[in-house]
Structure 1
Amino acid sequence: MVYNINMSDKISKAEIEYLLNLEKNCKSSQKYIFPSLGGKIEIELSSTDKKEDFLLDVWRSHIDLTRTKFQNRARNTIPLVRLDINSAPHKNPDGEQLAGTHLHIYKEGYNDKFAYSLPGEFTDCKSPGDFLEKFMDYCHIIKKPIIEEDLFV
């Protein structure tokens, strides 16, 4: 479900910070529907100068209504940041374990294997829609896609 390509392990910390901090815009004006159980949507983004392409992935669990993932990828395969909501516990390569909702941020040499506690921006989130809105802010998505929630979100 997560895209881990070996070539992304060679991206430098400076380049990742650059990609993370670039302002991004949704390429399409179409409306998207928040995925139903087991569903996924992939939304194309580009930097405001149109020199870099990104993807916003939104996944829903097959069973648990509250388990959701949002990911921002650069250049189709580089997982810059991923938010796992109500996820199974995660163990980092250094042995630290995180339970529940956590944020994966690309780390040079480790890809997206490291997870971190949520930053303060996410403390008021109550629904997947709230988390998605804050995640898009965190990823510097300026022109956001229109994503309509269904009754079961």
Structure 2
Amino acid sequence: MKLSDQDFRYLLSLEKEFLEKNIALPKVNTYVTFNIISTNQKEEFFLDIDRRGRIEFHKTKIQNRYIREPLIRLEIDAPPHQNPDGTKTSRNHIHIYKENYGLSWAYDLSSFSKELFCDCNNFANVFTDFCKYCNIKLQSNLQGVI
């Protein structure tokens, strides 16, 4: 499925919520997928969380997908990424969908936002910031994590 930049912005702007009643965030060395739905009940999404770092204890990937199309992927303690123009990111970066490129472009978290992703060593904060950026509502159904 190919999305336009306009489609991407629309999907990102939709307010979303978890289908699960209680969200237990994954511990280190685990992987989980959550079902997400737009509050208008028309669009379904998935939130993948991969904390299976082989060498790095804090290595984390969080991805928001629409059907099979990845929209946004956050990577913490990952290898640096090289963009199509040759520029490189640091180990903490975010991939954002771009028409004709998919998730080929990434942006350093250190220069991405002054309000979000300020504490990349705290998984619960990273998860909460990712949900804010993706417009996913967090309710009191969030259970603790290490």
Same fold (TM over 0.5): yes
Aligned residue type for 1:127? N
CA contact (8 A) 1:34 1:147 kept: no
Farther-moved stretch of structure 1 (136-145 vs 22-31): 136-145
Aligned residues: 140
Aligned residue type for 1:141? I
CA contact (8 A) 1:35 1:59 kept: no
Please point out which of 110, 116, 119 is paired with 1:122. 116
| Aligned residue number for residue 11 of structure 2 | 19
Distance, in Å, in 1 between the alignment partners of 2:98 and 2:43 is 20
| Aligned residue number for residue 56 of structure 2 | 64
Change (3 A) 1:123 1:28: closer
Please point out which of 74, 78, 91 is paired with 2:82. 91
Shift of residue 147, structure 1, vs aligned partner: 4.1
TM-score, reference length from structure 2: 0.88
| Aligned residue number for residue 142 of structure 1 | 137
Q: Give the alignment of 1:1-40 within 5 angstroms.
A: 7=1, 10-37=2-29, 39-40=30-31
Farther-moved stretch of structure 1 (28-37 vs 93-102): 28-37
Shift of residue 31, structure 1, vs aligned partner: 3.6
TM-score, reference length from structure 1: 0.84
RMSD of aligned residue pairs (Cα, Å) = 1.6
Shift of residue 32, structure 1, vs aligned partner: 1.9
Query: Unpaired segments of 5 or more residues in structure 2?
Result: none
Structure 2 residue 35 is the aligned partner of structure 1 residue 44: yes
CA contact (8 A) 1:24 1:143 kept: no
Farther-moved stretch of structure 1 (81-90 vs 135-144): 135-144
